[in-house]
Structure 1
Amino acid sequence: MAAHTAYWAAVLFLSLIGVWGFPTGPVFNRDPVCGYKSCPATQPSMLNVHLIPHTHDDVGWLKTVDQYFYGDRNEIQHAGVQYILDSVVEQLQKDPARRFIYVETAFFYRWWRRQNQATRKIVTQLVNEGRLEFINGGWCMSDEATTHYSAVIDQMTLGLRFLNDTFGECGRPRVAWHIDPFGHAREHASMFAQMGFDGFFFGRLDYQDKGRRIRTKEMEMLWRASDTLTPPTADLFTGILPNGYNPPDGFCWDQSCSDAPIRDDPDLEDYNVDQMVFKFLEVAESQATWYKTNHIVMTMGSDFQYENANMWYKNMDKLIHYVNAQQSNGSRVNVLYSTPSCYLQELHRANLTWPLKTDDFFPYADAAHDFWTGYFTSRPALKRYERESNSRLQTCNQLEVLGGPKSRRGPHGEGDSDTMRKAMAVAQHHDAVSGTEKQHVAYDYARRLATGWAHCEVLVSNSLAVLSGSDAPRIYCEGLNISVCPLTESSQKFTMTVYNPLGRAVTWSVRLPVNGTAYSVIDPRGKSVASEVIPVSKATQLIRRDRGYAMYELVFQVQAPPMGFSTYSISMLQTGPPAASPKFRAPRTIQNKYLKVTFDPDTGLLTSLSNLETLQTIKLSQNFYWYNASDGKNKDSDQPSGAYIFRPNSSTPFTVSKTAKIETVQNGVVQEVKQWFSPWISQVVRLYEDSRELELEWTVGPVPVDDDLGKEVITRLDTDILSSGYFYTDSNGREVLERRRDFRPTWDLFQSEPIAGNYYPVNSRVYIKDDANQLTVVTDRSQGGSSILNGSLEIMLHRRLLYDDNRGVGEPLSEPGENENGLVARGRLLLSLSKPATAADTHRPLAQSMVLQPLLSFQQGTLHPNTKLEFSGLQAALPPAVHLLTVSQWEKDLVLLRLEHQFQAKESKTYSQPVTVNLQKLFSTLDVLGASEMSLGANQWKDEMSRLDWKTSGGENMKPRKGMKGTGDAVPWEVTLNPMEIRTFLLRVQQR
């Protein structure tokens, strides 16, 4: 991020000198009147209608981020964000009663940087007076189904920090605002609560749920968003907006709308004030029957509106004037300009009891056959790239801290983490990683991530040079998953550095493309590492085409210390004779000391999985299937499958093949069964020597569409586990929620789509269990999944569709891939069989290791004898229950640290206990001189964070607890984490 404002420097200094033992003082001579203090007066005896002028500005969708900001490519969609902000600021100055809210910090940041000092002064005054209010505050409005919590926290932190730096306390949002995401995750509500938000408003929920809530006046509730965190830590007041995020019918006054303006000259023939007032009063009275108080909200705006803000405000001014004038005739309706936080304050003042919500809002359907569950899997390659980019960003952040200033300007040039941080933040948008954008926009998201990594790559190389003492050029191979790496393919001697971003040591299996047939691998301590050379599979050769020429893969296992690296030396020993050819036969078993896997010798398919440590065995059959996508010509509905909607035209999937052609490789390092199901689907069943989980590496595509329907491709695992219709999925990678087929916890479901209506987002893991066994599947990206049959799990891997689903994107989801033949996607599933009581001990850290994977870098030849081959940034590995969530440079000598307890309460007999970490003894190369605790979003001191309290239907008055006394000053070096708790600290450090 650019250099921070003088304001933040002052706030930071004045706050932190309290940490270091100096007196604090005020930042402003007077407190700005913003936030709740700036709210307009309401009428207690009337129905108060809060008009909320707003614009919803997608950070990419039909156009790229740049095109939306500048107003380019208007033949696709007329939208120009810079003009919206120009126009709104101009109109707000004309009347102090006017209000406006803005959400997407990514756009505002870009606009702000282009303003002169005069405009900045005007905007700052509008913010300080509460007339321009920031809501939500993240870099974007993130998707809730396909995002990982760590990336969501990062993008929220980026946006909130900019607002804090620029406007101080008046820039701090008090309300979360997710009006457009397609279903809502419980973990998002939990994160928002821990960031200090008082409330949360959204627009989309299942049509059956909404109908019930309207009838029972439960459109507003208290969402208890954690089974583990002590209330009200994760409690969040939540409101459902009445009209999505659009204005009521007939009251849209944007240049993109066609509704009639208010024509108030009585001499004109088409004078319509009486008509408009009557209609508005009718709408207000009707809407009031849905809600419990004498306050209702109307969202006055929509997608990319207010380019000509004068049109909106001129008509709303008239609406307010003429409707309120009816009070003299006995009307009880009072209309006012307002904001979501001002509306929320009135609900709080009502002091009512609110219903309690404990599950989530998935899946989302807006009609009987229109389930928005396809986007859980849409664009699988982009979803994987985003997840991989998140891992690289965390590595980049950590090495920026460990390497110090030389990491940014060092022997390999000038690098930065900001470019990657912003690219990842944009990728969290609800039309980005969700896969619901146009194809050219998807390319732009990927390009941004690639550009971000190019900047981080320099920083990482500089930092590793500082820490290791080797300035030799480093190579990062992007195509290892398809056996492409020019350096390893051509070199007889090279070194490989493995950086591990986790807070615990890892063992990792490495596969490098090579052309020799025997190699020596030496670890950092001079010991020989067992390795094998196996042929590159035909499937991989077909995917990589002419991008690489390696004949073989060198396979071995590496170890890397916590938040540190290990460097391995690799030398070719021979180029011939070739490695042993694979065996073309169906094996009956593959086995290591932990697992045993059996196959049917006739079909080549899996038949069982055994855990040899716990003496468990389950029947396990796995295969690939597809659902034919609906083309919209069904008798029940004309809804086709598309980027958003999953709608199979039958509940029975088609089997790709009942048999698989087999090729096996078995040696002392790895055992592989390569399966070919069709020309477009293959798989490797892989068991490494020291692995406690079975790896399924799937390759799907190009998906054939010559049937003119399109396909939704799944893999299904059928077992003898007695799951009884229950299965379990994670929420944004954190807490696990119980799912039940054809059931919703909060209403009596009429199930109209037995497949799509049972799909849920799987961000990191899904499992089924009975009293004896639990089968957990850990994914390498976000995907849709379900348990349609008892004892079965299915995961959607790929989608290729021929029809648009009429939700706005305007094109079919048919990714062209290479040579326009269709996208080929490759990924991994990890299968873990365990006892239900101890399953979390395994799948929690396993899921984290899939999210934060080691980064490999390569150097040609041999290293200087004085090169440091092993390094850990921590003095010792963190306790098993503790996850190192964030280590990031904040300012000079200041580091942002987040520590997370990664287990739920009662989830593990061993690890679901409080655990203590000493901050002063954490890092090996940094002295921690002071620490102050912050909110999860890192924009408030923890002890200053105070939230509104709410009464629930259980009768308790949930009063938010303030942070521990003194946490805004110095925290004790010993900090305790309770289950599912994330604690955020700003550390003052000094390089040793």
Structure 2
Amino acid sequence: MAVGVQQLAAALLFIFGGVLSFPVGQEMKDTSTCGYESCHATKSNMLNVHLVPHTHDDVGWLKTVDQYFYGDRNDIQHAGVQYILDSVVDQLLKNPDRRFIYVETAFFYRWWKQQSSSMQQTVKQLVNEGRLEFVNGGWCMSDEATTHYSAVIDQMTMGLRFLNETFGHCGRPRVAWHIDPFGHAREHASMFAQMGYDGFFFGRLDYQDRARRMMDKEQELLWRASDSLTPPMADLFTGILPNGYNPPEGFCWDQSCDDPPIRDDPDLEDYNVNDVVLRFLTIAADQARVYKTNHIIMTMGSDFQYENANLWYKNLDKLIHYVNAQQANGSNVNVLYSTPSCYLQELHRANSTWALKRDDFFPYADDAHDFWTGYFTSRPALKRYERISNSNLQTCNQLEVLVGPTSRKGPFGTGDSQTMRKAMAVAQHHDAVSGTEKQHVANDYARRLANGWQHCQVLVSNSLASLSGSSAERIYCDNLNISVCPLTESSKKFSVNVYNPLARPVSWPVRLPVNGKAYMVADANGKSVDSQVVPVSRATQGVRKKRGFAVNELVFQVQAPPLGYTTYSVSLLEDGPPPASTGHRAPTVIQNKYLQVTFDPDTGLLSSLNNLETKQSISLTQNFYWYNASDGNNSESNQPSGAYIFRPNSSTPFIISKTAKTEIIQNSVVQEVRQWFAPWVSQVVRLYADSRALELEWTVGPVPIDDSLGKEVITRLDTSIKTSEIFYTDSNGREVLQRKKDFRPTWHLRQSEPIAGNYYPINSRAFIKDDVDQLTVVTDRSQGGGSIHNGSLEIMLHRRLLYDDVRGVGEPLNETSDIFPEGLVVRGRLLLSLDRPSTAADTHRPLAQEVVLQPLLTFTDGELDPSSQLEFSGLQAALPPAVHLLTLSQWDEDLVLLRLEHQFQSWESKINSKPVTVNMQKLFSSLDVLGMSELNLSANQWKDEMKRFDWTPQKEERPLLKTFEDPSMWEVTLRPMEIRTFLLRVSLRSASD
């Protein structure tokens, strides 16, 4: 444990009145020589070659997580993680010089639980001596394009916590290691820096970018990963590995490889030591020419290797011996067993200056026609389910804290949040939410999320029973987006509990499937709420098939308190047939007090969007198109579109229909224009009475393939905004980056794919703007998109492909299901807002948060219990608009993990891009905060003890002025884009407090 923890514990003992459970893990003996102290000596006058034995173990890809761990289904892929760990530990014990790194805590955690206490002690000794070292350390190696930052932080926290609690400070990784993700996000680098990592290594970057960096010796650089956080807070040293994550050619000695072993008996005819040494020296010299120092790194391993570790280590021992023996003959090459952190330490000792990078590493291409931009959208249904699951998990975590032990064991049984946390952590893997796994594996990820949610439902039901005083059964309706909820469809009287996981009040539209034509809706105070009944659309009836029977939807707006719930009662007033719509006609305009939306009467398409508050008006047309996916059979390249790669065979997409059949519905709660473009494409343009955003609810599928053509379906917004080929996307849901067509900020791009090469990940929002207008699109899941034409923004919604893209998954992205055997139907929402560029963030930041953390609805049948508490807020007051409560979760029996973040960038808002101070003792309504201590972002080090390497960029910048410490120990000041993490000791207040 870092020096000073005992002193901190003594101080906290006074504050807390009890012993603090250390987040940084157990105390270790001072005799441990892990980390940088365990590194083998190098030779300053030689080229030092750092050999890094490693395995890359996907947490699901071609096989499920369980199949990979146990080595099941080897007919798909030979891989068994349990045998890898068994074999590596055995081989490390045979030679103290050997090293091994391990990455995926989800697998190691499973293996560890199965070991005897003596084996666990043996492994702890290996870790204490630095012979077995953990790198990265998250539950998985997350994807970087399609993951939301909140879920990434959670999965990293889970993995790192296990390592700390198991191994103490020797289990804490010093290096982030993302060798396989398909492009790299700036926000990930920022998070890794704030988690205390000294450096970051990855294997994949654009082939043109790599060529330029090799020429300029800039494959190692300093990544400045935030334009708001004061350097070096989000600065991260970043290294690009020479062979992806594979061994040099000819030097793979795994049982899965065919390279010859080192045959070192001189009496044998096929003695090959001289050949091996010569080839190795040549490769080392070639690699050294494109790196900056006299240290180079070689990854010795690959996917699921080291199942028979003896093969690797026996040959690596020989390689080191025979290459180093050449030093007696004048060779200047020194080979050693090493780890990424030991290599990083030598780069730091070089005391050099490093190239500075401010953008990201998207999009990634490994050849001229091979852009890995398809996975930004692949498996859109799974991507949405993962996002909803994250929202449900945060609600589950919050209620567990606000209610305490009763939430876990209550009237509805035993519930837990841990099952859901693990399922969500696994879902962040770079072959999970990315959509790049086999179909049966995607099904397994979804099954895990569903199982986790079942466990959380018990916890949520117990919590709401405790808070409300009512133990009535709670019903969960997870298919409201397709108008299915058996309770509301059949009951004449029921209540709706609306839990809001955001730390500010939320106004939210509720749509419930019903069969009556008039209802009475009352809020928690018994006041009548305006509600309207609209007919269920034909598109919805087609999607839900026989899963529901409601003919109508009851629509009303709810107002939910911060970090709490409110209750609405619903009573049937009048049964009967559905209300009549206003008929099939082309609408001219729909509007509320904020927005006016006009339609072309001839085509039925959108024609303009007007902000009535700011007197803004833009032309806006929107339609649906599809790109014909390449089958790989053309003169330029044989690369087809697939789960990873987007490659249309033409730059001009096919329009699905130039006109839309329309139906308009208008009432006091909602106005909607229902549009039909084709039997497989429909949309509802929807404007609620109190909304500043226009909703586009799209339904796409089954994508037809009877013409034997794979299709990439997009929607395109064409506007009068003068964009100069520039648009903006978020990075993992946080900071915004500028994008420009056919341009990369740090290298000259030779564009070979004018569509796919201009697609970027959109995690929560994208926008186009000029000096006067900004149109922002908030998405409900991760999607790919671009601005191919000036004033235009296109977003890919669905993909159905007929060929594999030859990147390993081995099957085409052609999703079907039991419900949709003819092809998957996907439904989603885009939210559009029109603002002045100077104030747009004040609208789209909170809007995006509402979509990510949406209210959870639960239902009870019959009359409300008159004695129950119908409203509750876990906060004494709403947090300021700039502050987001990112994490509230149970850490230990009376310890709570809290993260608060400033959700604006420094330049975004005149109002909200300012420091904000929060008093922690005035935060919660149901909890007393007895003490607190600040941690790093991943909660595995005390903040004031987090020390990282300092690096010198080639271009020095004047640092910002330092700020004074907070005036009160209970007051926390957040500056733009800052996330602060705290461990709180709390006690639950009694109802009489």
Q: Classify the TM-score, shorter chain.
A: over 0.9
2:534 and 2:578 in contact (8 A); partners too: no
Deviations 1:962-984 (A, max 9, x none): x998x9xx981011000000000
- Matched with 2:488 is 488
Deviations 1:328-362 (A, max 9, x none): 00000000000000000000000000010000000
Q: Which residue of 978, 981, 986 maps to 1:981?
A: 978
Q: In 2, Cα distance between the equivalents of 1:959 and 1:276?
A: 53
The DSSP-based 3-state class of the residue aligned with 1:939 is coil
TM-score normalised per structure 1: 0.97
Cα offset for 1:707? 2.1
Cα offset for 1:10? 10
1:419 and 1:455 in contact (8 A); partners too: yes
Q: In 2, Cα distance between the equivalents of 1:758 and 1:31?
A: 54
Cα offset for 1:955? 3.7
Range with greater deviation from structure 2 (926-935 or 24-33): 24-33
- Matched with 1:156 is 156
- Matching residue's letter, 1:841: D
The DSSP-based 3-state class of the residue aligned with 2:810 is coil
Cα offset for 1:19? 4.8
The DSSP-based 3-state class of the residue aligned with 2:775 is strand
Q: In 1, Cα distance between the equivalents of 2:584 and 2:876?
A: 49
- Matched with 1:945 is 946
Q: Is 1:807 aligned to residue 799 of structure 2?
A: no
Cα offset for 1:18? 6.6
State how 1:562-581 maps to structure 2 within 5 Å. Answer: 562-581=562-581
- Matched with 2:846 is 845
Cα offset for 1:484? 0.3
- Matched with 2:509 is 509
- Matched with 1:553 is 553
State how 1:402-417 maps to structure 2 within 5 Å. Answer: 402-417=402-417
- Matched with 1:694 is 694
Cα offset for 1:287? 0.3
Q: In 1, Cα distance between the equivalents of 2:30 and 2:245?
A: 36
Cα offset for 1:211? 0.1
- Matched with 1:181 is 181
Cα offset for 1:28? 4.2
Cα offset for 1:868? 0.4
CA distance 1:671–1:860, shift in 2 (3 Å): same
Cα offset for 1:259? 0.2
CA distance 1:648–1:851, shift in 2 (3 Å): same
Q: In 2, Cα distance between the equivalents of 1:902 and 1:172?
A: 28
State how 1:230-629 maps to structure 2 within 5 Å. Answer: 230-629=230-629
1:396 and 1:460 in contact (8 A); partners too: yes
The DSSP-based 3-state class of the residue aligned with 1:809 is coil
Percent of aligned positions that are identical? 76
2:566 and 2:870 in contact (8 A); partners too: yes
Deviations 1:823-870 (A, max 9, x none): 000000000000001000000000100100000000010121110001
2:28 and 2:168 in contact (8 A); partners too: no
TM-score normalised per structure 2: 0.97
Q: In 2, Cα distance between the equivalents of 1:558 and 1:445?
A: 33
Q: Which residue of 13, 20, 23 maps to 1:17?
A: 13
Deviations 1:553-574 (A, max 9, x none): 0000001000000000000011
Cα offset for 1:30? 2.3
- Matched with 1:902 is 903
- Matching residue's letter, 2:984: L
Q: In 2, Cα distance between the equivalents of 1:451 and 1:145?
A: 26
1:933 and 1:971 in contact (8 A); partners too: no
- Matched with 1:856 is 857
Q: In 2, Cα distance between the equivalents of 1:239 and 1:583?
A: 62
Range with greater deviation from structure 2 (10-19 or 980-989): 10-19
- Matched with 2:882 is 881
1:47 and 1:332 in contact (8 A); partners too: yes
Q: How many residues align?
A: 981
Q: In 1, Cα distance between the equivalents of 2:381 and 2:882?
A: 31
- Matched with 2:922 is 921
2:230 and 2:959 in contact (8 A); partners too: no
Deviations 1:191-232 (A, max 9, x none): 000000000000000000000000000000000000000000
Q: In 2, Cα distance between the equivalents of 1:933 and 1:456?
A: 28
Deviations 1:779-801 (A, max 9, x none): 00000010000000000000000
Q: In 2, Cα distance between the equivalents of 1:155 and 1:12?
A: 27
Q: In 2, Cα distance between the equivalents of 1:195 and 1:307?
A: 31
Cα offset for 1:22? 8.6
Deviations 1:655-711 (A, max 9, x none): 000000111110011001000000000000000001101000000000011221200
The DSSP-based 3-state class of the residue aligned with 1:820 is coil
Cα offset for 1:578? 3.4
Cα offset for 1:602? 1.0
Could you tell me which runs of 5 or more consecutive residues in structure 1 were left unpaired when the two chains were aligned.
none
Q: In 2, Cα distance between the equivalents of 1:615 and 1:979?
A: 30
Q: In 2, Cα distance between the equivalents of 1:924 and 1:336?
A: 58
- Matched with 1:635 is 635
CA distance 1:409–1:13, shift in 2 (3 Å): farther
Cα offset for 1:319? 0.1
1:187 and 1:226 in contact (8 A); partners too: yes
1:232 and 1:960 in contact (8 A); partners too: no
2:607 and 2:619 in contact (8 A); partners too: yes
The DSSP-based 3-state class of the residue aligned with 2:848 is helix
Q: Is 1:662 aligned to residue 659 of structure 2?
A: no
CA distance 1:139–1:296, shift in 2 (3 Å): same
Q: In 2, Cα distance between the equivalents of 1:936 and 1:249?
A: 39
1:949 and 1:960 in contact (8 A); partners too: no
- Matching residue's letter, 1:872: S
Q: In 1, Cα distance between the equivalents of 2:570 and 2:917?
A: 40
Q: Which residue of 981, 987, 990 maps to 2:987?
A: 990
Cα offset for 1:11? 12
Could you tell me which runs of 5 or more consecutive residues in structure 2 were left unpaired when the two chains were aligned.
none
Deviations 1:244-274 (A, max 9, x none): 0000000000000000000000111100000
- Matched with 2:89 is 89
2:517 and 2:552 in contact (8 A); partners too: yes
Q: In 1, Cα distance between the equivalents of 2:16 and 2:413?
A: 35
- Matching residue's letter, 2:935: M
- Matching residue's letter, 1:972: M
1:949 and 1:959 in contact (8 A); partners too: no
Deviations 1:72-98 (A, max 9, x none): 000000000000000000000001100
- Matched with 1:49 is 49
Q: In 2, Cα distance between the equivalents of 1:751 and 1:165?
A: 49
The DSSP-based 3-state class of the residue aligned with 2:454 is helix
CA distance 1:601–1:807, shift in 2 (3 Å): same
1:760 and 1:784 in contact (8 A); partners too: yes
Q: In 1, Cα distance between the equivalents of 2:602 and 2:936?
A: 59
- Matched with 2:893 is 892
Q: In 1, Cα distance between the equivalents of 2:18 and 2:867?
A: 44
Range with greater deviation from structure 2 (395-404 or 23-32): 23-32
Q: In 1, Cα distance between the equivalents of 2:110 and 2:420?
A: 16
Q: In 2, Cα distance between the equivalents of 1:692 and 1:67?
A: 48
The DSSP-based 3-state class of the residue aligned with 1:976 is strand
- Matching residue's letter, 2:13: I
Q: Is 1:220 aligned to residue 252 of structure 2?
A: no
1:371 and 1:756 in contact (8 A); partners too: yes
Cα offset for 1:954? 1.1
2:480 and 2:511 in contact (8 A); partners too: yes
Deviations 1:740-788 (A, max 9, x none): 0000000111000000000000000000000110000000000001000
Q: In 2, Cα distance between the equivalents of 1:181 and 1:898?
A: 27
2:648 and 2:756 in contact (8 A); partners too: yes
2:768 and 2:776 in contact (8 A); partners too: yes
- Matched with 1:705 is 705
- Matched with 2:873 is 872
State how 1:813-824 maps to structure 2 within 5 Å. Answer: 813-817=813-817, 818-824=819-825
Q: In 2, Cα distance between the equivalents of 1:373 and 1:750?
A: 17
Q: In 2, Cα distance between the equivalents of 1:640 and 1:14?
A: 63
